[in-house]
Structure 1
Amino acid sequence: MSRLRAVVAALTLGVPFVATAADVTRVASSFEDDDPFGMFIDVGFEHSQRREKIVREALPTQPGGTRQYQNELWYRGSDTRLNLDVAFGISPDVELSFGLPVILLRDESWHFVAGTNESNSSIINNRVVNNCSATGEPCTAAVPQPLFAVPLETHRGGLGNVRLGFAWGIFNQRKDETKPNWVVGLDYEAPTAERLDPTVPTQDERGPVGDRVHKYTVYTALSRKIGLADPYFRVHYTVPVRGPGAYSNCEHPSETPQNLGRPQNCGLTGWDRKETGIQAPHTGGVQFGSEFLVIDQPKRHFTLDLRAIANYVSEGRYYNELSGPLRKLLYTGDYLQVGGQFAVKMKVSDVLSLGGTGMLLHNTDHVLTDEKIGKDLDGNGSVDLTGNPQEINPNFDFRTDFVSRRFHATESKDIRLDLSATFAF
């Protein structure tokens, strides 16, 4: 019973403890009475995968029936990178940070699902052809015109975007035990990576990974140590801003006309680069969980971290899971990510800590090819495909964006594994 009472006391405020912040509220602090300079150096090896089934819409087999979906492809994308980050205090509870990912491998592959092959795949047996009439209407080919070859692989890599960060610890439980740790911050991701061009094949050599988009992330996090537990909460939101030189599908209208329903509209009134180029998604999310101190020795700590995650990814036009085969940015529907994370961290000395993380997210079903057919430029209340073909969106692909021909992502899951080392000074 005495041991049970000790455990209960440790999980409450009934025993003394040294208040330390959970990782989500960690801030490098300098010019403290007992620590004139604070700095963290994080080195992480990260591997992530997305696996999903890609299906395609089909018209109902019976009048008034529900829309059908045909199984087409298994998609697998993997990303292996080295993350380098440094954070240092510029005043008490205020830090600046810098980060740079080195993307060693970013590979994608597409294969038929079981039961689908070249004889029955709508990808291989496509007969719809873009840009084959003066009025902007598609036509039907006498023989199949495959959308792309299956199986297929792409390979990319290189330096990622530089990240700059600012964080302020408004409250610090170590200094005032009546308050939690509360941090607010702003991260800026600069478009420093070499720009990705989806029309350039990457089967034989690795292509670049940059999107030329500025990303601003605001966040706040709270944590409070209670005995051996350190529960926390974090919320974040990212706003993308297209940078100079961002890619547009209209960049190569004469080289890839089969992917554009009306390439001759590129650059006309209403279809400038802002309208036809990348429209990166807004993202936001919440995380909540707790760290648990399992081993607490003078110079050695072992911590478990259990976390629930929910993210929202808005609609937008960007490089998605079918951009590689279709060689263009695709308008993608919004979706939710829900899942969790398990992490362990061991402090092996006053300077060095080692950690490992595993994360699993489920992505809700979403459309992968959903470009709008056009917009009403003359104000008559409708998009005139034949009467005024300049109203046709040059990005629109009659083969893949038309209702009953669109592609969807289903059974989508993200897995991430991360090994890290933190040096604290």
Structure 2
Amino acid sequence: MSRLRAVVAALTLGVPFVATAADVTRVATSFEDDDPFGMFIDVGFEHAQRRAKIVREVLPTQTGGTRQYTPELWYRSGDTRLNLDVAFGISPDVELSFGLPVVLARDEQWNFVAGRNEDNSSITNNCLRANGSLTDPTCATLGAQQQALFNVPLQAYRGGLGNMRFGFAWGIFNQRKDETKPNWVVGLDYEAPTARQLNFEGLTATSPETRGAVGDRVHKYTVYTALSRKIGLADPYFRMHYTIPVRGPGAYTNCDNRNVEPQNLGRPQNCGIEGWDRKTTGIQAPHVAGVSFGSEFLVLDRPSRQFTLDLRAIGNYVSEGRYYNELSGALRKLLYTSDYAQIGGQFTIKLKLSDVLSVRGTGMMLYNTDHVLTDEKIGKDTSGNGAVDLTNNPEEINPNFDFRTDFVSRRFYATESKDFRLDLGATFSF
């Protein structure tokens, strides 16, 4: 037994074994013998950015050639917000929580890539209408009646109160109470569609003084589980989660804005007819599944101070769906987006100043795999002849389908896409 203790002491560098929970398994607890009431208040300032190159698909000019992609735009978005979260214990190892983000600014920019301008870009030199007809018979040869998809450069400004979040978490195992077990938490977060609904009325480029809304009118349910175990200086952990979106009443559909000029729906007259109701043509938020794993490391441990480093690897999967993506603000509609993966990491520095107050700083970077931004299906076969009949039965055409951007050889892709996030915050523990 003494040899085993010596080995454990050597592996943990002689650090006393004190069972505490990593942040991913933190649970507010109440009605304990030594803690009648537990609560956490988290206040944070967050700034996130997405940068991507937007390219356009071009079919090969020769038989058997490979498909080409022409760079068109640089896209950049920034989201700056204040986050307020409160968690309190309702029984031993069981907490309820709620949070509210205040989106100070959600800004987007579209600019030409180097070598691309309004004279040679397919965005500005466009000869098609959304329904596939030519703007003018001589447009392709003489450039008559060219109609830009949108103007470049372009900016959009949004902001306001975000969606409220409500959460429930249960600490099934608690290492502090039983050192033979790890910390194990399961939970459910519910994001309610409380934010004012985003729409595309008027010009996209509003102004910093008159910001558009940020809400999507979608209920989001996230189930998750996390495990951690304190071993000397290290506190390794693992977390996985899955988000299920459920469209709420009055959720946006592009058909709500079918009279926009210039027209951005290929077959707006099909909106609302049999087979193309709001559920079919409206927002279809993506499902998101992810895992993360890493470890916290206690660098400094003194009675009045604790200094902790947290290194984390992250992997997410985002399913296909019709929602607000990197081109929606420019094309003024929700766009059907292919699925993609996110891979990256996160680094956190946390300083505990007292039993009540701790502060933290977090940096995160994710790489997003290439994905299609305009991928609406042309329609559906309702007659049973095995094909979508564009001429004899145009009611089979998807109202959202845009012949300028969704047709193969004209689709847009997001490439070289990366997400960055900086988070500065404080936690008050009671």
Q: Same fold (TM over 0.5)?
A: yes
**Contact 2:243-2:289 within 8 A present in 1 as well:** yes
Which consecutive residues of structure 2, in runs of 5 or more, have no partner in the other structure?
Answer: none
**Contact 1:199-1:328 within 8 A present in 2 as well:** no
Q: Distance in 1 between matches of 2:129 and 2:421?
A: 40
Q: How does 1:9-20 map to 2 (within 5 A)?
A: 9=9, 11-12=11-12, 15-20=15-20
Equivalent in the alignment of 1:266: 271
Deviations 1:21-53 (A, max 9, x none): 000000000000000000000000000000010
The residue type equivalent to 1:302 in the other structure is F
Q: 2:389 aligns with which of 384, 389, 408?
A: 384
Deviations 1:153-177 (A, max 9, x none): 0000000000000000000000000
**Which 10-residue stretch deviates more, 89-98 or 256-265?**
256-265
Are residue 363 (structure 1) and residue 368 (structure 2) matched? Answer: yes
Equivalent in the alignment of 1:400: 405
**Contact 1:27-1:95 within 8 A present in 2 as well:** yes
- C-alpha deviation, 1:299, in angstroms: 1.9
TM-score (norm 1): 0.95
Q: Distance in 2 between matches of 1:371 and 1:11?
A: 56
CA change 1:171–1:200 in 2 (3 A) is farther
The count of corresponding residues between Structure 1 and Structure 2 is 416
Equivalent in the alignment of 2:355: 350
CA change 1:313–1:138 in 2 (3 A) is same
Equivalent in the alignment of 2:259: 254
The residue type equivalent to 1:139 in the other structure is L
- C-alpha deviation, 1:139, in angstroms: 3.0
Equivalent in the alignment of 1:203: 206
Q: Distance in 2 between matches of 1:341 and 1:11?
A: 26
**Contact 1:130-1:139 within 8 A present in 2 as well:** no
Equivalent in the alignment of 1:98: 98
Q: How does 1:43-192 map to 2 (within 5 A)?
A: 43-131=43-131, 138-141=133-136, 142=139, 143=144, 144-192=146-194
Q: Distance in 2 between matches of 1:203 and 1:9?
A: 62
CA change 1:7–1:210 in 2 (3 A) is farther
Equivalent in the alignment of 1:32: 32
**Contact 2:200-2:257 within 8 A present in 1 as well:** no
Q: Distance in 2 between matches of 1:378 and 1:256?
A: 32
Equivalent in the alignment of 2:344: 339
Q: Distance in 1 between matches of 2:257 and 2:326?
A: 21
Are residue 421 (structure 1) and residue 426 (structure 2) matched? Answer: yes
Q: 1:412 aligns with which of 408, 413, 417?
A: 417
**Contact 2:15-2:233 within 8 A present in 1 as well:** no
Are residue 280 (structure 1) and residue 285 (structure 2) matched? Answer: yes
CA change 1:25–1:264 in 2 (3 A) is same
Which consecutive residues of structure 1, in runs of 5 or more, have no partner in the other structure?
Answer: 132-136
Q: How does 1:253-332 map to 2 (within 5 A)?
A: 253-256=258-261, 258-332=263-337
Equivalent in the alignment of 1:231: 236
Aligned-partner SS, 1:390: helix
CA change 1:177–1:185 in 2 (3 A) is same
Equivalent in the alignment of 2:225: 220
Q: Distance in 1 between matches of 2:310 and 2:8?
A: 19
Deviations 1:121-148 (A, max 9, x none): 00000101133xxxxx533533211100
